Every structure is written in structure tokens, then in C-alpha cells.
């Protein structure tokens, strides 16, 4: 029975990863690795940039869109009211329906947080205050609702709220709670029943679960932060954890406990050959670990390297032809777009020429589409010998943020950091007041 369940889940994952090229149904795309299988990407742009097909207003924040069957889904937010799951037509930008719910409150760096996921006839989303909804895309009504924070003993929210992009694995919806009574939780995706949960895994984090292949088997990998004393001066120092979990049971298979990043956001990256790359911002860099099965059947981890010269504060790097590409802009560091080899050698950095800082990237048709975190969209040829920009255009604005204190001081005037999405040759990007659909393919 267990083998049958494993096979069913594995087939489901392969189907999800190799589905229609037109779809971008979850955070970081079909295979959750910032990669699209679409072809026909434009190799050059007009002087004023690629064609903007439509623009719609959105609330402030950092939540990105997904696309399934020519429908765009975005979890939007108005802090005084609550969250609003919105559905648009990909071709026209027409808003087809929405589902809003009360979730009042405000946190530092206000606004939306996460990316929904669409699976068959349902769309799932998790708001910044922990509200996890399953919505029927035909009736536009909720099938079930949980709170990933309050349901497991959570009281005072993490300082930057709940930032979770749900993961579908077979019949399971997997998400990190981080509450005192749960670390990662798996719900049955059709009923909302809890199938398994791990104990609390460590300090607060803003990382979403990822799937990594180890010895041909899927492991759900979760990353927790090292101690963050902002808002919690009483906490003792503790390094973060990288944990491998059996997807169908929640069994903890392995743990690496030497991760140093006090506000960890990017998901783990499957680097192949049982290797896992973890990156962060805040001048703390990246760590590569290798997971190996021991003689007794258990798993152990080995740290291959740690570097402060490569990282990304908000997104996992793109892996292409044995090299990693990431935007390494932090509060005090401006390394721009950085290319690193598999063994940790830094091959080049753009620094501020041009500057890339917390933007989003997609690998498609051998090229990279990248927002730079401020106003520009770039078309880049990934090359370990040096930075090669084929085109760029300013498409995003700087108005709309209303952060205060540290959010305004270190976030800057734009804060255009949301994940982007690609479907049917159309790129979806957003700033702090608008979402745009841009034609980037023939």
C-alpha cells in the first residue's frame, strides 16, 4: 500500500511539473524552479520596450500571480479590510470574479504576501494572517478554510507576518505553519483535514516548502532562520535548520543545523546529485549541503561550502547549465546579478551596473526574463563568461508603498519585489499599484 501511494504521488508530481506549457499554476512555475518550457521568446524589443497588453489596479504588496487555463489568480489585499482572491482573463485583463474575506491588521512592509496555487478545479491561497482557503474556481465559493497559525497555538505573528506559498503533492497541500505546535503541515487538499504535521522546526521563517530529489526519492525541504532579535530581544542565539521530510508521512529524514540567516525567505534549491543549495540575504550568503544515505538507512548531511559572496534575499536562484544566477541586493550590499558555479566560485557580478535588488526571474527558451526590483524589465542571455543584457525597458512605477519606519528606510521608493509569471507568451509583472501583462513571445 505504501509503495502504491508513493507511486501515485510521484506520478502526480511529474504530471504537475510537465503539464501544459501555457500554465504557470504555482509559485515559481510548473516545476517550482522559475523555469518555463515555452518557446518563441522575442530576442529583441522595440525601443520603448515590449508591448503592454493590459494593466489592472492592485493593492500594495508583494503577492505574485499564477495562471491556469488562461485565467490569472492573484491574492490581493487592502490592510484595513482583508484579503481578496481575484481572477482575471489572461487575454483581456477583465476581472471575472473575486472572493474576499475579513483579515484586518497591518504589519511592517504592509500588503499582500504570497502566491496562490491552482490544482484542477480549486485554487488555494494563504494570507499574511494565516488564513488558508480552498476555493472552487467554478462556484467561486470556499470549500474549506483553516488558519495555519492560530490552529496550532500561534499568538503573536512573526514580525513580517505569514509568508507562505502552498505546495501540492498528490492529494496533499503542504505548507509551513511555524506555530508552537507545528512546523510543516500537510492537509488533504479536498477536505482540509490534517494528514500529518511535524513538530516546530525552529525560529520563525518566511520560507515555503520545496521538493528535492534525494537518491531518486522526493523529500520536502524546509528552511528555518537563525535567531532574529528584531521585535524579540529576549531570544537566545540559535542557528537555522534545513530539514528533509518524507512527503506522505511527515517523517523527518535529515537535518542540517548550521544555517546562518536571521530572516530566511528563498526556498531550497535542488542542485542535483543529492545537493541542496540554501541562499539568503542580509550579507550572509549561501550554503551548499549534500544529503547521503548512511549504512543504517538513515540520512546524513555534509556542508560542501558556505560563501558570503552569493545570495538572494527574496527568491531562490535559477540553475542553468551548471551555474546559479541570483539577485544579491541586501540592506547594505549591492552585488547586483551574480553568477556562481556549482562549486561556489563566483564567476561575475554586475554590482550596480546594472543594479538588481530583490527582483524576480524566469528562465525561458534559453534566456532569462528579470525584473530588477525597481522599475526595469530585462532580457538576459545567461552566460558564465559575463553579464549579457539583450534588452531592457522601464515598465514599473515607484508610487504606492505606505511603509513606515524600517520598511520605508530600507525598502526604498519602489519595493517591486513580487514573483513574476509567464503563460502563453505573456509575462505578468506588478508594482505597488498595478499588474501588467506584457507580450514577450511571438
- How many independent structural domains does the chain possess? 1
Residue 398 is predicted with a pLDDT of 83
Check whether 8 has a pLDDT greater than 60.
no
Residue 63 is predicted with a pLDDT of 97
- Does residue 16 fall inside a structural domain? no
Provide the β-strand partners of residue 112.
61
Check whether 404 has a pLDDT greater than 70.
no
β-strands 269-272, 252-259 pairing: unpaired
How far, in Å, CA of 405 to CA of 190, rounded?
42
- Does residue 17 fall inside a structural domain? no
- Does residue 186 fall inside a structural domain? yes
CB atoms closer than 10 angstroms to residue 45? 18
- Does residue 231 fall inside a structural domain? yes
CB atoms closer than 10 angstroms to residue 22? 19
Q: In this predicted model, what pLDDT tens digit does every residue of 71-102 receive, in sequence order?
A: 999 999 999 899 999 999 999 999 999 999 99
CB atoms closer than 10 angstroms to residue 154? 20
Structural domain boundaries, residue 92: 24-439
- Does residue 410 fall inside a structural domain? yes
Residue 253 is predicted with a pLDDT of 98
Give the CATH number for residue 378: 2.130.10.10
Task: Please answer whether residues 330 and 311 qualify as being in contact, where contact means their C-beta atoms are separated by less than 8 angstroms.
Answer: yes
Residue 399 is predicted with a pLDDT of 65
- Does residue 160 fall inside a structural domain? yes
Helix (H, G, I), strand (E, B), or coil: what is residue 269? strand
Check whether 10 has a pLDDT greater than 80.
no
Report which DSSP code applies to 151.
G
Does residue 354 have a cis peptide bond before it, meaning omega lies within 30 degrees of 0?
Answer: yes
- Does residue 3 fall inside a structural domain? no
- Does residue 178 fall inside a structural domain? yes
- Within a 13 Å sphere around the CA of 184, how many CA atoms are in the beta-carbon half? 31
Residue 212 is predicted with a pLDDT of 98
Task: Please answer whether residues 122 and 136 qualify as being in contact, where contact means their C-beta atoms are separated by less than 8 angstroms.
Answer: yes
Q: Cell 525552529 appears where? A: 202
Provide the β-strand partners of residue 167.
174
**Entry pTM:** 0.94
Check whether 14 has a pLDDT greater than 70.
no
Give how far Cα 314 sits from Cα of 28, 275, 359, Å.
12, 21, 8
Amino acid at each position: 500500500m505504501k509503495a502504491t501511494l508513493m507511486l501515485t504521488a510521484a506520478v502526480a508530481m511529474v504530471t504537475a511539473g510537465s503539464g501544459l506549457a501555457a500554465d504557470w499554476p504555482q509559485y515559481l512555475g510548473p516545476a517550482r524552479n522559475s523555469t518555463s518550457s515555452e518557446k518563441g521568446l522575442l530576442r529583441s524589443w522595440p525601443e520603448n520596450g515590449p508591448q503592454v497588453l493590459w494593466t489592472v489596479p492592485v493593492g500594495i504588496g508583494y503577492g505574485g500571480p499564477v495562471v491556469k487555463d488562461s485565467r490569472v489568480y492573484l491574492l490581493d489585499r487592502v490592510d484595513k479590510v482583508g484579503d481578496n482572491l481575484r481572477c482575471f482573463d489572461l487575454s483581456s485583463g477583465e476581472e471575472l470574479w473575486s472572493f474576499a474575506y475579513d483579515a484586518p491588521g497591518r504589519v511592517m512592509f504592509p500588503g499582500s504576501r504570497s502566491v496562490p496555487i491552482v490544482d484542477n478545479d480549486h485554487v488555494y491561497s494563504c494570507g499574511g494572517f494565516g488564513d488558508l482557503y480552498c476555493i472552487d474556481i467554478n462556484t467561486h465559493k470556499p470549500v474549506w478554510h483553516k488558519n495555519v497559525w492560530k490552529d496550532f497555538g500561534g499568538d503573536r505573528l512573526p514580525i513580517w507576518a505569514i509568508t507562505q506559498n502552498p505546495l501540492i503533492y498528490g492529494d496533499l497541500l503542504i505548507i509551513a505553519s511555524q506555530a508552537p505546535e507545528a512546523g510543516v503541515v500537510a492537509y488533504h487538499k479536498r477536505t482540509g483535514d490534517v494528514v500529518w504535521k511535524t513538530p516546530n522546526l525552529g525560529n520563525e521563517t518566511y520560507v515555503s516548502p520545496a521538493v528535492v530529489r534525494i537518491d531518486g526519492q522526493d523529500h520536502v525541504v524546509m528552511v528555518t532562520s537563525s535567531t532574529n532579535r528584531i521585535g524579540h530581544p529576549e531570544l537566545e542565539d540559535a542557528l537555522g535548520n534545513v530539514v528533509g521530510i518524507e512527503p506522505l508521512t511527515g517523517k523527518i529524514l535529515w537535518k542540517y543545523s548550521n544555517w546562518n540567516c536571521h530572516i530566511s525567505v528563498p526556498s531550497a534549491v535542488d542542485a542535483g546529485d543529492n545537493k541542496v543549495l540554501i541562499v539568503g540575504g542580509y550579507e550572509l550568503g549561501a550554503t551548499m549541503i549534500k544529503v547521503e544515505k548512511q549504512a543504517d538507512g538513515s540520512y546524513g548531511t555534509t556542508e560542501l561550502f558556505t560563501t558570503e559572496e552569493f545570495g538572494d534575499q527574496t527568491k531562490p536562484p535559477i540553475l542553468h547549465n551548471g551555474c546559479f544566477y541570483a539577485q544579491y541586493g541586501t540592506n547594505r550590499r549591492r552585488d547586483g546579478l551574480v553568477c556562481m558555479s556549482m562549486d561556489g566560485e563566483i564567476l561575475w557580478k554586475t554590482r550596480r551596473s546594472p543594479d538588481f535588488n530583490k527582483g524576480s526571474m524566469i528562465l525561458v527558451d534559453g534566456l532569462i526574463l528579470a525584473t530588477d526590483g525597481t522599475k526595469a524589465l530585462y532580457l538576459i542571455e545567461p552566460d558564465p563568461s559575463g553579464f549579457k543584457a539583450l534588452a531592457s525597458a522601464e515598465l514599473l512605477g515607484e508610487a504606492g508603498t505606505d511603509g513606515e519606519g524600517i520598511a520605508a528606510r530600507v525598502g526604498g521608493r519602489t519595493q517591486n519585489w513580487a514573483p513574476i509569471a509567464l503563460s502563453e507568451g505573456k509575462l505578468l509583472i506588478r508594482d505597488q499599484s498595478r499588474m501588467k501583462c506584457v507580450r514577450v513571445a511571438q
